[in-house]
Structure 1
Amino acid sequence: MITIKHPVDLPDTYPLERIGALKELLFFDIETTGFSGDTSQLYLIGCTYHDGFGWKLIQWFADTRESEAQLLESFFTFMKRFRILVHFNGDGFDIPYLLKCCRRLGLNYNFDSIISLDIYKKIKPYRKLLGLENMKQKSIEQFLGVSREDKCSGGELIQVYRDYLMSHESFLYDLLILHNEDDLKGMPSILPILNYADMLESPFTLTSQEVCGSWPFLNLTWQNPYSIPVPLEYDSAPVSMELHRDTLTCNISLYQGELKFFYPNYKDYYYLPMEDTAIHKSVGEYVDKDARKKATARTCYTKKCGLFLPQFGPLWSPALKEDYKGLLDYVEYSPDLLAGPETADSYARQILDYVSRKRD
């Protein structure tokens, strides 16, 4: 086994204190000859960490097939110094892979004593909102405007490693070591994506609301404790939205006119065609039989005129619709609707969920 250790310059791209104390964080990445620790070989583990004076890089490289166990022993011994393990999709690949290697080699190591922070899992719930094509690290880099060129893919390096085991050529060794080092140096470039999780897991505070325009819309502005690096925009009726830095701004089209409230228990109602409304059977019994009929789900409603705000989930009642199959629910608008901080926050999240679904 070969151990490489030296200082490394890592950019300050995200306030790491949100994750934990600097000395508690260990970033890691592995290189393997396949997808399963049962049938392929681990040949490189790389880590970056802060020792109180600066960032350091440490790598353990299997220069022979027999040194795989030594790699694992060195890594797990070193890992005991830290409290939080940071990685990209490590919960899905790296960690299960290493555990399978340990079982195959009869080593009694695990990750029970360390907290795992998977950047991939942290941001995955917001993929649609962010408009990410997929959850590959390259897609996140493109979203953040990061330009990083891989000289070789992990798959291509499998043959490079096999050639190295046969020849021990220094240029092959350098290629393997530098690829892993570049991956670790590149991890800070995607850390800003965590700002979106920070924001969306924190409350939105409504700071203004105003009805505007002759075709009325409601302009709403929320503030958040966190700020995002790349703005998000969406514009398709009835929602126009911009998420910029720490501010969410929305224009919501209001409905002005007549809407219907549909009673859920239509079998208990009569429909009055002349009045175009439904009444409860306890009252309808006194209406002439020729002027009433049994209500159906589509005709069991009462109507209301006014100015209405669309809602994108169950928040206010009674909820009204344009018709029985209407996709949106509405509530009669009043500024007091959003007076409560929790309600205002819930409505902001409804809008963001709606945008996520529309981007699917």
Structure 2
Amino acid sequence: MSHQTVIVLDFGGQYNQLIARRVRECGVYCEVKPYTTPLADIRAMNPIGIIFTGGPNSVYDPKSPQVDPAIFTWGVPILGICYGCQLMAHNLGGRVTEAQDDSAREYGKTETYFDSACKLFKGLPAQGITWMSHGDYMEKVPEGFALVAHSDACPNVAICDESRGFYGVQYHPEVNHTEHGTDMIRNFLYEVCGAAGDWTMGDYKETAIRQIREKVGDGKVLLALSGGVDSSVAAALVAEAVGSQLTCVFVDHGLMRLNEGDEVEEAFKKWDINFVRANAEELFLSKLSGVSEPERKRKIIGEEFIRVFEEEAKKIGRVDYLVQGTIYPDVIESGAGDAAVIKSHHNVGGLPDYVDFKEII
């Protein structure tokens, strides 16, 4: 079955996968694409709507991530969030500048007032808390856009051109701190984009399993398992897809909760897979001894994790595919692409330049 699709265009922010999660929670299929994706590829997906994400840059900086203005001529609704809002304004004749005083900069929880006649805020309270994070200011709003939300400090918290289906908000509706934020995203999907709500996470599971089977064929798969949710979910999907073709190397670093290592091992007994547990608690604790700086600890854990994994993998023999179950926010928070480093993650930030594996799914 072919589902309606919404594209989240990634400009290097920290919440990009969270935006996609909110869209999926609303029953709409969604994919995250980098801003460098050719417009022809995006158009070929026939999206019913596009969401521009936030990002750490300033739209007026020549080096900042940009988008081909042709995207605004398709007749496809667009929701710009934070940087995405300012990018829309910048491209459509508005003017974005650095805030000249603190009153124009907004960070954290902010009392915000909404025009409930706007489709984005349909059926929602006229006042509530939003989560702000912007140091730039829309000095001039593009022609044809209305101001549909404001705060005590900022007159243009949200803008819209409903005739073209263009909406921009300078806050983050995808985070829990913004009251009714998911409802706003739902309104964009259903009131603006005409979503049918024909997709579920169950659809994703079946699609993912089918794609893994098609790619792997009769090949052998090796997976690095830390016991966290992300790598465990990846392991479960691959186990469902290829069963005994999968070998999981569980690196037990001794840093989990009491008895959690045993619980991880027990959980994977339901599948016919090869499960290898590397008990490396003493190694990890010795390497971390005397280290107090959090980022240095993460780097050490990452380095040792991959080295222990490599050592165990060499005992297994040749494999065709390596699976690293790392959720996208971990990759982004570790500084991938255009994002700034928040904190490195154990199987991202400490990854050495050289590893012994060739193919990754």
TM-score range (shorter-chain normalised) is under 0.3
The higher relative CO (CA closer than 8 Å, separation ≥ 6) is in 2
TM-score of the superposed pair, with normalisation by structure 2: 0.20
**Larger strand proportion of the pair:** 1
Larger radius of gyration: 1
